[in-house]
Amino acid sequence: MHTRRPYHVEEAEKYCLEDDLVNLEVLDEDAIIRQLQKRYVDLLIYTYVGDILIALNPFQNLSIYSPQFSRLYHGVKRASNPPHIFASADAAYQCMVTFSKDQCIVISGESGSGKTESAHLIVQHLTFSGKANNQTLREKILQVNSLVEAFGNACTAINDNSSRFGKYLEMMFTPTGAVMGARISEYLLEKSRVIKQAVYIADDAGRVMHDITSKESYRRQFEAIQHCFRIIGFTDKEVHSVYRILAGILNIGNIEFAAISSQHQTDKSEVPNVEALENAASVLCISPEELQEALTSHCVVTRGETIIRANTVDRAADVRDAMSKALYGRLFSWIVNRINTLLQPDKNICSAADGMNVGILDIFGFENFRRNSFEQLCINVANEQIQYYFNQHVFALEQMEYQNEGVDAAPVEYEDNRPLLDMFLQKPLGLLALLDEESRFPQATDQTLVDKFEDNLRCKYFWRPRGVELRFGIQHYAGKVSYDASGVLEKNRDTLPADVIVVLRTSENKLLQQLFSIPLTKTGNLAQTRARVTAASRSLPPHFSAGRAKVDTLEVIRHPEETTNMKRQTVASYFRYSLMDLLSKMVVGQPHFVRCIKPNDDREALKFSQERVLAQLRYTGILETVRIRQQGYSHRILFEEFVKRYYYLAFRAHQIPVASKESCVAILEKSRLDHWVLGKTKVFLKYYHVEQLNLLLREVLGRVIVLQACAKGWLGARRYKRVREKREKGATAIQSAWRGYDARRKFKKISNRRSESAVHIQADRRSSPHAESSNGHAETSSNPPVTEKNPHPQAQSSPQGHDVFAGYPDKTCHAAPGHPGLSPSRGAPAKPGSENGLTQKQRTPHRRCQQPKMLSSPEDTMYYNQLNGTLEYQGSKRKPRKLGEVKVLDGEDEYYKSLSPVDSIPEEDNSAHPFFFPSSSKGASFAQH
């Protein structure tokens, strides 16, 4: 939902009553023509007829299609800006998002009226409105139309860039309105234009450029197509294969045939120009001999026997043309299928079933040339079907609703073309059914076809001119059209011999093999999935190569396209299924109509031909459309759906109102609408009512969204605060536990090292002769006798051991302050030569590599008490920490410095200071000296 204010630009004009033809006071053809002409001269090419848009082709580039204008028409009221194609596209997008329903935009009009360009602009605005995070996807969708039109459009006498196929583009969106993919359906590709050039475009005006390589505009167009291939995602190998097949189609057209006269056979054909044949075979990567054999002969299987028959010159030319058309048609279908594969929605984002679609129909316009053939007949029948679809939604269904719901509304007369469609499509006596029936007879001719039409189609819509044998006329909704029946039967059969298919399957071009290994659908297009093709189906008939396996006849003819059976699918049957498939897609969505008008036949800017415009307004029913939009109610909504959709406007969000007339009246009165009518089960609204309701609903929902955003923001902030506090407490607990662990570890390390030092000092002191002589009696009286043997006899002192301290009579050893466990009495030097000392020395050997002796003397107790007091004092210096405060571990922390063993254990070399007692590892050697 877009709750912001609309974006305005300086070029935008204010809405006026003249923007909508429904607001005209005098409603007749002259008033409508004058209004359209006045706007066209001012370059206002768009005009509303209620909710329908009329677009006149300006035949020039206008600067009103930039992204700035897309922002101008995005999510705003239609009356806020002048009529525009972006407004119609945005109306479809907003309806899709608001109502979660598929939409369909139908673009109709004559050839050259600007339908293709209108489709481009609609795709551009929908891509802008449904912005997704995937920028590459948006770029791909914008290139789709340009690519398929490069292969499917052509120059005609009416239009330089005429669509020669029907295109239905479905843009897929997520439930929130973000574009997530696209899909194309193509119908009724005109394939006959690749085998010969139409007479009406090879005139003296020089519209066909023979030297296309030196023209700069063609070079730029080719580079644009290369860009489209690259952006959409085609690989270089695929593009190269496409160009090879296109080159093959052009080279096949250069193959000519000549008759061979012999004694027994005069209808055999050959290829006199071998170079053209070899060029085509080389480009298609097939054998030239096999290609020539497939073109000049055909294989017939009857009663289990294979019979090879030669083709006449005309028959060989038909096979050549059928081969070119099949290559072109299947290649075009493959390109469309490949685009659909590259643009399919990402399953990780949203499945296609959960999304919504906006379909855009861009189909060939109504045509009436000097010579109209089978192609123009199919095109005009398709336009009849689109006109009938328009009449049903604008006129028939609306007036039928008035009668069923008891609404008093004046009926509007309109031209119903349903009888004409029945003449074409009904069975068994419709025109297309009669054409298929005549195509099954081998001896039927175009003359017998026209005679059958005249005998069975007895209605006011069919007529046959006098004096012309192979002509018939049809009274279409857009006027009378005369058709030439020459070659209609052969075009409808569109026979491609199985021999040609087998040869093409042997191509070294993988893409070409794939094109003729996939079956065709009922609409005549290449199937999306690849069929399984056995090796036998790709082999050649026996007469092509004796060394290859025998062909499986049933495998060759398993698809309708690959058989010479007269009961196979025809172009008319493909056409009928195509119309059914197209309508099945269109009726699902809510329709939006864009009627394109061609202001003149000369393609000149600012030239307005009243006669041509009036003729188009008449057969498209614009005058009747204006009247029914003035008097009628274009939107009929069931009570239940209306209340479910708009109850926010009059009721509280938590209320569930009953789907009744009273609820509908409450909503309509609260919305302050007028000129609405209630039927038995439906609400009847004008075309502008729905837009007003949608704007009100968008405003209410915008307020709800703001409230939800505030509530969600507050809840999120509170949740984040809780998580942050929890994390801080967790960090504090972790740091506290680590500090406790680290302190205990360091204390234990210091305690162990001090205990070891005390043991070493005591051991060295007891091993000294002076200590033994002076304190021997005390040692004997205070300590129990040691009965264990000395494990280190070499550690006993020699008689000369007392000479070490003899040179230092004034250096009496006392307990150092750092070693409180050593008493002063024990620190006195022992007398030399004392037996007591020697005996004590022997009784208390050095306990190296053994468990240290437990200290239980009063001096030991005093040492530990002093140590504990020091730690308690140092611990009291620590400042208390607040709850939740994270203290950073600092190497200069006073508490940890106090636990450092540096002060307790000197690291100087003991050998340089004889005043200090040596360690246990050096005590023995010191005593021995």
Does residue 593 belong to any structural domain of this protein? no
- Identify the band that residue 215 occupies on the pLDDT scale cut at 50, 70 and 90: confident
For residues 858-878, average pLDDT: 57
Two tokens at 661? 């007339």
Three-class DSSP labels, 877-916: CCCCCCCCCCCCCCCCCHHHHHCCCCCCCCCCCHHHCCCC
Does residue 477 belong to any structural domain of this protein? yes
Does residue 688 belong to any structural domain of this protein? yes
Does residue 735 belong to any structural domain of this protein? yes
Residue at which a domain ends, from 477, 493, 509: 493
**Average pLDDT over the chain, rounded to whole?**
79
- Identify the band that residue 648 occupies on the pLDDT scale cut at 50, 70 and 90: confident
Candidates 412, 340, 418, 376; CA nearest to 170 is 340
The DSSP string of 432-476 is HHHHHHHHT-TT--HHHHHHHHHHH--STTEE--TT-TTEEEEEE
- pLDDT beyond 60 at 698: yes
Looking at residue 804, its pLDDT comes to 38
Looking at residue 303, its pLDDT comes to 75
CB 45 within 8 A of CB 39: yes
Looking at residue 791, its pLDDT comes to 43
The percent of residues in the chain predicted with pLDDT above 90, rounded, is 44
The annotation places the binding site at 109-116
Phi, psi of 855 (to 5 degrees): -90, 120
- Identify the band that residue 654 occupies on the pLDDT scale cut at 50, 70 and 90: confident
What range does the domain containing 388 cover? 376-493
Residue at which a domain ends, from 459, 476, 493: 493
Residue at which a domain ends, from 716, 732, 751: 751
- pLDDT beyond 60 at 528: yes
Three-class DSSP labels, 736-800: HHHHHHHHHHHHHHHHHHHHHHHHHHHHHHHHCHHHHHHHHHHHHHHCCCCCCCCCCHHHCCCHH
Query: Which burial class, exposed, middle or buried, applies to 443 when counting CB atoms under 10 A from its CB (0-12, 13-18, 19+)?
Result: exposed
pLDDT digits (tens, 9 = 90+) for 573-588: 999 999 999 999 998 8
Residue 627 CA, chain-centre distance (Å), reads 43
Looking at residue 245, its pLDDT comes to 96
Weakest-pLDDT range from 603-617, 618-632, 886-900: 886-900
Looking at residue 46, its pLDDT comes to 96
The percent of residues in the chain predicted with pLDDT above 70, rounded, is 74
- pLDDT beyond 70 at 884: no
Looking at residue 868, its pLDDT comes to 60
- Identify the band that residue 135 occupies on the pLDDT scale cut at 50, 70 and 90: confident
- pLDDT beyond 90 at 376: yes
Looking at residue 865, its pLDDT comes to 67
Weakest-pLDDT range from 169-173, 642-646, 691-695, 807-811: 807-811
Does residue 519 belong to any structural domain of this protein? no
Provide the number of structural domains found in the chain: 2
Phi, psi of 695 (to 5 degrees): -65, -40
CB 874 within 8 A of CB 750: no
The better pLDDT of the pair 244, 552 is held by 244
Does residue 737 belong to any structural domain of this protein? yes
For residues 341-345, average pLDDT: 91
Phi, psi of 242 (to 5 degrees): -60, -45
- CATH assignment of the domain containing 715: 3.30.70.1590
Weakest-pLDDT range from 347-351, 391-395, 420-424: 347-351
3-state secondary structure of 621: coil
Looking at residue 826, its pLDDT comes to 41
For residues 564-573, average pLDDT: 68
How far apart CA 515 and CA 326 sit, in angstroms, is: 9
Does residue 472 belong to any structural domain of this protein? yes
Looking at residue 71, its pLDDT comes to 92
- pLDDT beyond 50 at 877: no
Does residue 747 belong to any structural domain of this protein? yes
- pLDDT beyond 70 at 176: yes
Longest dimension (CA), the chain: 162
3-state secondary structure of 126: helix
The annotation places the binding site for ATP at 109-116
Looking at residue 645, its pLDDT comes to 86
Two tokens at 94? 């907003």
- CATH assignment of the domain containing 400: 1.20.58.530
Looking at residue 123, its pLDDT comes to 95
Looking at residue 261, its pLDDT comes to 73
